[in-house]
Amino acid sequence: MKIGFDNEKYLKMQSEHIKERISHFGGKLYLEFGGKLFDDYHAMRVLPGFEADSKIRMLTQIKDDVEIVIVINANDIEKNKVRGDLGITYDMDVLRLIDAFRGYGLYVGSVVLTRFAGQESAIAYQKRLEGLGLKVYRHYPIAGYPGNVPHILSDEGFGKNDYIETKRSLVVVTAPGPGSGKMATCLSQLYHEHQKGIEAGYAKYETFPIWNIPLNHPVNLAYEAATADLNDVNMIDPWHLEAYGKTTVNYNRDVEVFPVLNGMFKKIYGESPYKSPTDMGVNMAGYCIVNDENTKAASNQEIIRRYFTALCDLRKGNGSQEIVDKIELLMEKSGITVADRPVVAAANTKAEITGEPAAAIELETGEIITGKTSTLLGASSAMLLNALKKLAGLDDSVKLISPDVIEPLQQLKVERLGNHNPRMHIEEILIALTICAKNDENAQKALDQLSKLKGTEVHSSVILSPVDVSTFKKLGINLTCQPVYQTKKLFHK
């Protein structure tokens, strides 16, 4: 991987900057934490060198000062809202997050049910959490939020919300996903703390868009591509430009809501501590980009990957043409096309020649290896074995997996497990390869190369099964697919 980001510098700068912000507010800070804390693979892809758990590792450096508050929208519990990247509901993700925080030695103080309006499933969920020994608080819908500041800052507004009892100087407010009510929870706490005569402040930690790089830098465009379904738009922060004469980048929701937030701050504090949405942020990522060209290249690849994802979602009936059009516009802004992803042409050409589905992988050296569908293997499995042989220095004619191993597995799939397709999924092929490696030196050599595939680029000429997509993710391989199915069937799995 061509490094573009200094992760160690980031950990140090970020933790120090947050400490400074805590001291600025007299020793108590509510920090709205956006994005993914444990598994920020988007940041890892667009900022090569950034590690997926960087943000949580940063918090562990000051963990004695940190308390976690997790918020979840009661309506999301009621609707069984699913986190798309993990395939689990938001209420289950809260439990996953708690376990993960505790695994890092961080203290989880409580869970807040926002927009609580007596939803039966939310009440049952609260009982479940309390049965697990967790503190649970309720925050309620507020008429006129966020525009009616006098009503919001009253006994009938934030005053109706439960006061969250916290112990630490840094209260990190996070959630399973967007729209959970993180900001409102922070502001509600500021109101209650002020009523109790306690000094406390608010800040926001969002990795993207990065405020101190250009508006149309590929890193920021990649963020727009990732949030195309949310209608987030990066823009110049007009408040910051007016206050300081400096150009910074923020996104439309924060810019639009800032006058209201500023009004709340003035009511709570007497005067606002911030002159712009950018002032509210604490993100230091922009200072840690050490190779801009590598970062731009990685981000452009992410934009193209998001484009193919949008096309496949549209084909599956889960997306919209509007999202596709928006990402096409972002590609135009960045001056890129699908031709800038070499594996696309390689896979599609192989498919045209063979008349069967094909796949291509670009190794770290830039060399492209392809695979085609056969009676024993799917295209992705064949491609993976070909790539491992290449990395191990083995001749292409070498058989890594004996048919004596594959054929019984195929019989099991078709005759006993009811599968119609006898070809092996990637995970099944890797298991078979592991079995063969026990007695075959070549198979072991190939298996030893598996870690070298992390961060490589793959394209399939057809939409892959969720099983294969999941395996590619586990291997850290960046996958895209043509928006076509292998067969004309209406049901695909």
pLDDT number for residue 489: 56
pLDDT number for residue 260: 84
Distances (CA, A) of 99 to 95, 182, 213, 473: 6, 20, 35, 22
CA gap 36, 258 in Å, rounded: 23
Type of residue numbered 235: M
Bridge partners (DSSP) listed for residue 182:
none
The per-residue pLDDT of the chain, averaged, comes to 92
* Cβ-proximal residues to 296 (8 Å cutoff; 6+ apart), any chain: 217, 218, 219
Q: If we measure between CA atoms, which residue out of 251, 253, 236 comes closest to residue 146?
A: 253
Given pLDDT bands bounded at 50, 70 and 90, which one contains residue 79?
very high
pLDDT number for residue 68: 97
- Assess whether 351 and 280 both reside in one domain: no
Let me know if residue 213 belongs to a domain.
Answer: yes
For the chain, the distance separating the N- and C-terminal CA atoms, rounded to the nearest angstrom, is: 33
Let me know if residue 376 belongs to a domain.
Answer: yes
- Assess whether 458 and 366 both reside in one domain: yes
Let me know if residue 189 belongs to a domain.
Answer: yes
Residue 376 has pLDDT above 90, yes or no: no
* Residue range 383-417, pLDDT digits in tens: 999 999 999 999 999 999 887 888 788 788 777 77
Bridge partners (DSSP) listed for residue 245:
none
Let me know if residue 399 belongs to a domain.
Answer: yes
Residue 492 has pLDDT above 50, yes or no: no
Q: Of 265, 288, 311, which residue is a domain's last?
A: 288
DSSP secondary structure letter of residue 266? H
Identify the residue with better confidence: 377 or 248.
248
Distances (CA, A) of 210 to 234, 278, 289, 335: 10, 10, 11, 20
* Residue range 90-130, pLDDT digits in tens: 999 999 999 999 999 999 999 999 999 999 999 999 999 99
Residue 363 has pLDDT above 80, yes or no: yes
* Residue range 147-194, pLDDT digits in tens: 888 999 999 999 999 999 999 999 999 999 888 999 999 999 999 999
Given pLDDT bands bounded at 50, 70 and 90, which one contains residue 491?
very low
- Assess whether 261 and 385 both reside in one domain: no
Residue 226 has pLDDT above 70, yes or no: yes
Would you call 173 helix, strand, or coil by DSSP?
strand
- Assess whether 216 and 74 both reside in one domain: yes
- Assess whether 235 and 348 both reside in one domain: no
Q: Of 288, 307, 330, which residue is a domain's last?
A: 288
Let me know if residue 406 belongs to a domain.
Answer: yes
Given pLDDT bands bounded at 50, 70 and 90, which one contains residue 257?
confident
- Assess whether 217 and 345 both reside in one domain: no
Domain with 275 in it: what CATH number?
A: 3.10.630.10
CA gap 21, 283 in Å, rounded: 12
For range 424-452, the mean pLDDT? 92
CA gap 184, 421 in Å, rounded: 51
Let me know if residue 257 belongs to a domain.
Answer: yes
Q: If we measure between CA atoms, which residue out of 134, 147, 39, 18 comes closest to residue 83?
A: 39
Whose tokens are 């959630």? That residue is 175
Domain assignment of residue 375, given as a range: 341-481
CA gap 31, 178 in Å, rounded: 15
CA 67 to chain centroid, in Å, comes to 22
- Assess whether 278 and 381 both reside in one domain: no
Six-digit token string for 77? 């519990």
